[in-house]
A and B are shown apart, each in its own frame.
Chain A
Amino acid sequence: MANGSKQIVDFAKIKATMADPYKHPVQVIDREGKVVDPDTLAKYSDDQLVDFMKKMVWERTLHEQTMNFSRQGRLGFYAPTAGEEASEMGSVSAFKEQDFLLPAYRDLPQMIQHGTTVAKGFLWSKGHVEGNQHENPNMLFPQIIIGAQYVETAGVALGIKKNKDEDRVAFAYTGDGGTSQGDWYEGVNFASAYQAPAVFFVQNNGWAISVPRRKQTAAETLAQKAVAMGVPSVQVDGMDIIAVHEVAEAAREYAAAGNGPVVIETLTYRFGAHSSAGDDPSRYRTKEEEKPWFDADPLIRFRKVLSDKGLWSQADEDKLVDQYKDEFKEAMKEAEAAPAQKVSDFLKWTYNVPTPAVKKQIAEFEAKESK
């Protein structure tokens, strides 16, 4: 290329404009609690609005109660969810019982909403097999290896398509860090290649344990990653439950109609630690960074909208919180009463047809266990 001559392609311009379609996250209620999209809000009845608020209070109370249980040593690995109530409750409430949920470890609240019990959630955290056995069979256990749930979602969605199931989709969750995994791309791309009915959520809460979102990728948004796979995507204000719900419902409808998958990035924030197992956010983030996000608390925002409408009061909320706390304490009692697990059962579940060595080990452990 001769000096000074015009290049055939302007990479700088491409880079500067590639995120343009993603510059305006979908929003219905702004961070001050002002309704910026009244037409959309008007689609919801008062009862529906109150129900959304109840779900967020439920999740916040669940968070607080689980942190108490963790401090008391009554839970195992548990990923705090405070701050992500709008993202989690707004999204899961857009799906139907027959939809197949593939969660990650911060998604116990969605699993419970989708058809399992709080006690099962606690059992999962405590390390008990019953925590993987749910009343609604349309869900997997929380995925621990980040990304695996994405490739499996493509498989479930393809299975749904091949079964010709009507009005049914697969939906999955991961976080901002999850979008760096190879499996993330493989999952979205496979679902796209087969035009399978999948809705992929990226709950961008700013932090993958201690690594900030900006260090995961130079891409301006995570939603735009879907473009490369030929998948429509959107960024939504993840602290605005109505916006999240609207987007999730539209995505579900689009995917269920046979149009292929959708990717949704919710902009949210993890108020607490990565997990209950010793993570300390003060090691890697500042109070200055946290403050605006704490101010954007999805409960504060929605409380204001409902209070303005005369649909919500602090007294209502206090009563609910007490009720939920009692329920969670009962659930913990139920979880703690689960039968002790046996190594002989672990061996029995390892294969459908136990191998000779496993058979022998089953007998050995059964003999020990019967003593």
Chain B
Amino acid sequence: MAKMTYIKAITSGLDQVLGDDPKTLIFGEDVGKNGGVFRTTVDLQDKYGEDRVFDTPLAESGILGLAIGLSLTGWRPIPEIQFMGFTFEAMDGIVGQLARDHYRFGGQKNFPVTVRTPFGGGTHTAEMHADNLENYFTSTPGLRVVTPSNPYDAKGLVISAVESDDPVLFMENLKLYRSMKDEVPDEKYTVPLDSAKVVREGTDITIVAYSAEVNEALTAADTLAKDNISAEVIDLRSLSPIDTDTIFASVDKTHKVVIVQEAQRMAGVGAVVASDIAEEKIMSLDAPIGRVAAPDSVYPFAQAENDWIPNSDDIEAKAREIFNY
């Protein structure tokens, strides 16, 4: 077992699926010789050849068209959209076509496409590079949306995504790419596509988070522990579907919950989680559901983004408020 960064873990997972299944294809802008602008696909073209790992012209809708057409001819496409903000150019491809195609055929054809795309704030990117846009996709029937918060899950989830016969949007957090290292097995393993994980056990309050906010939640939990507040932290991992069983079990234990997202409050994975809890577990709650989210402005200019993105202090404060309710 080696220590690996989040990005290396993704590369390792992609290497594995390319090696295992000759029908897998990686394509996108700059993914070939350059290995992607972040080097996520580095060396894969050398290893598997230009037939399997190739550059596309600069057009995201075209990239999704390729993915759908390649699925129709027996391939298992892994397109990259260079930044999640650019998925707007492929909205019809992902939402209007890909997510609906299995249904349109009455289940007779599969579209086993994994769309990989980096997102997330805090790295002072240019505009349209950092937004959390998951809400556009989690409201799309037929599409799975997953996002890992650590290197181990990154590798296991990307392998599961590619092996799934359902289309999957695989969101890679920019800030996490090189900021954390984990023990990651060299061999193949999978992390299920539809399960959340309790990443820290606790008894007093549940904090539900995903992607980079999981680390913020863990930091908040450390601080809360100093005051003998025992926080349980759940990493959603899958944003569509949401693993409500894991969340409900935790709520039944702690009776208090705070839901964290980096996206604007109006943009709703946290709202969906809150509504699920309210619908099924309201009698189990001893306090209102707390939410931590970015404010409802357009994504901020880069210089001020750290004032805008929810951090561990925000989570800690909200958790104290709900705990003391």
Contacts and interface: CB of A to CB of B under 8 A. Distances in A.
Interface of A: 100, 129-130, 132-133, 140-141, 145, 148, 150-160, 162-163, 170, 182-183, 186-187, 189-190, 193, 345-346, 348-353, 355-358
Q: How large is the interface on B (under 10, 10 to 19, 20 to 34, 35 or more residues)?
A: 35 or more
Nearest to B64: A151
Nearest to A140: B72
A179 to B, nearest CB: 15
Contacts of B252: none
B66 A154 contact: yes
Contact of B69 (A156, A189, A351, A358): A156
A289 to B, nearest CB: 33
Contact of A145 (B69, B92, B110, B142): B92
B65 A155 contact: yes
A127 to B, nearest CB: 12
7 contacts: A100-B72, A140-B72, A151-B69, A155-B65, A156-B69, A349-B105, A350-B142
Interface string B69-108: 1111111000000000000000011001100001111111
Nearest to B72: A156
B61 A186 contact: yes
A130 B108 CA distance: 11
Given A351-B166, A352-B165, A148 B93 contact: yes
Contacts of B305: none
Given A152-B69, A346-B103, A353-B166, 15 more contacts: A141-B104, A148-B92, A148-B93, A151-B68, A154-B62, A155-B70, A156-B73, A159-B74, A183-B62, A189-B57, A190-B57, A349-B102, A351-B144, A353-B165, A355-B144
Contacts of A186: 57, 59, 61-62, 65
A155 B71 CA distance: 8
Given A145-B96, A151-B61, A186-B61, A350 B66 contact: no
B164 A352 contact: yes
A156 B73 CA distance: 6
A159 B74 CA distance: 8
A356 B241 contact: yes
A284 B206 CA distance: 63
Contacts, number: 134
Nearest to B25: A162
B108 A133 contact: yes
Interface in B17-75: 25, 51, 56-57, 59, 61-62, 64-75
Interface of B: 25, 51, 56-57, 59, 61-62, 64-75, 92-93, 96-97, 102-108, 110, 141-142, 144, 164-166, 194, 240-241, 243-245
Nearest to B143: A351
Nearest to A168: B73
Which of B66, B105, B106, B144: most chain A Cβ within 10 A? B66
Given A346-B103, A355-B194, A158 B70 contact: yes
B244 A356 contact: yes
A151 B65 contact: yes
Contacts of A133: 105-106, 108
Contacts of B243: 356
Contacts of A159: 69-70, 72-75
B87 to A, nearest CB: 15
Contact of A153 (B69, B97, B107, B194): B69
A111 to B, nearest CB: 14
Contact of B56 (A100, A190, A351, A352): A190
Given A140-B72, A145-B96, A151 B62 contact: yes
A130 B164 CA distance: 25
A154 B110 CA distance: 18
Contacts of B57: 186, 189-190, 193
A353 B161 CA distance: 13
A148 B65 contact: yes
Nearest to B57: A193
Contacts of B72: 100, 140, 152, 155-156, 159
Contacts of A155: 65-73
Contacts of B102: 349-352
Q: Which 4 A-B pairs give the minimum distances between C-beta atoms?
A: A155-B69, A151-B65, A159-B73, A355-B241
Given A132-B106, A349-B106, A351-B142, A187 B62 contact: yes
B69 A157 contact: yes
A352 B110 contact: yes
Contacts of A349: 102-103, 105-107
